[in-house]
Amino acid sequence: MEALMVLLAILLQTLLTITTTTTAQFDPSAPIQVICSGDSNYTSNSAFESDLRSLLASLASSAPSNGGFFNTSTPDNTIYGLAQCRGDKSPTECSDCLNRSASAIFSQCPRRKEAVLRYDGCLTRYSDKRFFSTLSTDVTGILINVNNASDQTVFNRQLGRLLNGLATSASLDASRFAEGEINYTDFVNLYGLVQCTRDLSGSDCLSCLTESIAALPGCCSGKQGARLFDPSCYLRYESSPFYAPVSPPPSPPPPLPGLTSPPPRAQTTHSDGGEDQQQIQSAESLLFDFATLRLATENFSESNKLGEGGFGPLDWRMRYKIIEGIARGLLYLHEDSRLKIIHRDLKASNILLDGSMNAKISDFGLAKLFNLEQTQGNTSRIAGTYGYMAPEYAIKGQFSTKSDVFSFGVLVLEILTGRKNSGFHESEQATDLLTYVGMETLDRRNDTTVDRQSSSRTISKQRIS
C-alpha cells in the first residue's frame, strides 16, 4: 500500500510537471529543441572534448560572416559540425545566438558524441558521424499556440497556400529560406517562415518541408501559430508578425513603352447557396512580369521556346520516368508514410520536376491524414480542381486513396496524350479529356489519342497498359 502511494505521488508530480511545461510562457532565451544522441559518450577533458570546443567556436565565429551558415569538420574528420542562423537574423543576432548555443550544448548534452541544439534564431549540430547533405524528415519538435482561429476552414486553407508557396520558394533559393504573408481576413494576415539547412539539395529541402506541412493537420489544425522542426528544416507560422523583413531584391527595370501587365484575373467562388457551401477552385496560369520572363527565357531565345529546344519535347522514356515518379510518391503517401495521407488535389501544377526530371508531389494544403485503420472520409466542403476529382468526391464528398488514384489516372492521360484536361476543345462531342479518350478508344483510334509531338513514338505496350 505504501509503495502504491509513493507511485501515485510520483505520477502526480510528473503530470503536474508536464502541465506546467505545456502551458508555461515560452522563454525566447531557452532552446526549443534538444537532441542528445550517439552510441557512446566521450570522456571529460579528453582530446575529443578539446576538439569539439574548438569546432563549436569555429562554427560560431564563421557562420555570421558567411551568410548565417557554416559547416566543417576537425582535421582528422572525427567530429562534424554545422551552424545556421534563421534567415532574417542580423550578423550580430546570429553571433549572439550561436555563441550561446556553443556554450549551452555542453550542459544540455554532457559528454554526448552527437547533439542538436536549436534556438528560435539558430541551430547548432555536431556528430562523430558525417551528416552533411543528409536529409532527416522525422518531425522531432512541435510548439503550438493554444489559441484557435475563428474560422478554421478558411484559416487552414490560407495557411496551406502560404506554407506550400514558401516551401517551393525556399527549395529554389540558394539560402533555403523563405518568409511571407497571406490574407486570412480583411483585417488579419497569416505570417509564415520556412528554412532548411543550406547543405541540402533543393529537392531534399522541399521533401523535408512537405513532410512538416503534411503533419500540421494532425497536430495544429486551426491553431493560430505553431513551430515544427527537425535537424534538417524548420517551419513557423503565426497570426501576427514575428520575423524581420529580408531586404527585397532590386526593382526590375520599367517596362518598355506600350507594354503593360494585364491585371490579375479575379478568383471566383461559386456557391449553391446552401448551408454547407461547396468550393471548387481552379488556377489556369500565373502572371509574371516582363523582366522575369526575359530572364527565364534568356531574352526570349528561340532555343527556349516552350516545347522546343531547351524545354522539350519529352520522349517516351522521360514521360514514363515522370509517371513512375508520381506513382512512387503516391505510394509513399498512401502506404509508407507514418500516417496515411490523402492529397485531394493531385494535378499537373502540383508536380514539381528537378533538373533530372524526377517528379515530386507538392502542395499539401488540402491533404487529409488517415490513421492506419481508416479507409474513407467525408466532407461537405469540397475543395480541389475540377476535372481531377473522382466522381464520388465531387458529388458526395467521399474521399479515399481511390480519389488520389483517379486524379493520378487523369495525370497519366495528360502526359500520354499531351493534352490538358482543363479547357478541353479537341472534340465537339467531348467536353473533357476523359470523355475524349473514351470515345477514341471505343472507335479504336488510339493512334490519334497518343501525343504526336513526342520525339520518339516508340513505347512498349506493357508500359501503357
Q: Which residues are annotated as catalytic?
A: 345
3-class secondary-structure state, position 353:
strand
Q: Say if residues 345 and 283 touch (Cβ distance below 8 Å).
A: no
Number of alpha carbons in the 13 Å side-chain half-sphere of residue 164: 21
Residues 41-61 as b/e (b if ≥16 CB within 10 A, e otherwise) read ebeeeeebeebbeebbebbbb
444: DSSP letter: T
Which three three-digit cell numbers place residue 202? 533543393
Number of alpha carbons in the 13 Å side-chain half-sphere of residue 233: 34
Closest CA to 242 of 16, 439, 88: 88
Closest CA to 226 of 169, 286, 151, 159: 159
**Could you give the CA distance from residue 174 to residue 184 in angstroms, rounded to a whole number?**
29
**Could you give the CA distance from residue 167 to residue 196 in angstroms, rounded to a whole number?**
9
Q: Say if residues 157 and 365 touch (Cβ distance below 8 Å).
A: yes
Please give the torsion angle defined by the CA atoms of residues 330, 336, 337 and 343, in that order, rounded to the nearest 10 degrees.
20
Which three three-digit cell numbers place residue 381? 466542403
**HEC sequence for 157-170:** HHHHHHHHHHHHHH
Q: Quick one: CA dihedral 9, 14, 18, 21, positive or negative?
A: positive
What are residue 83's DSSP bridge partners? 70, 124
3-class secondary-structure state, position 178:
strand
244: DSSP letter: P
**Could you give the CA distance from residue 154 to residue 94 in angstroms, rounded to a whole number?**
36
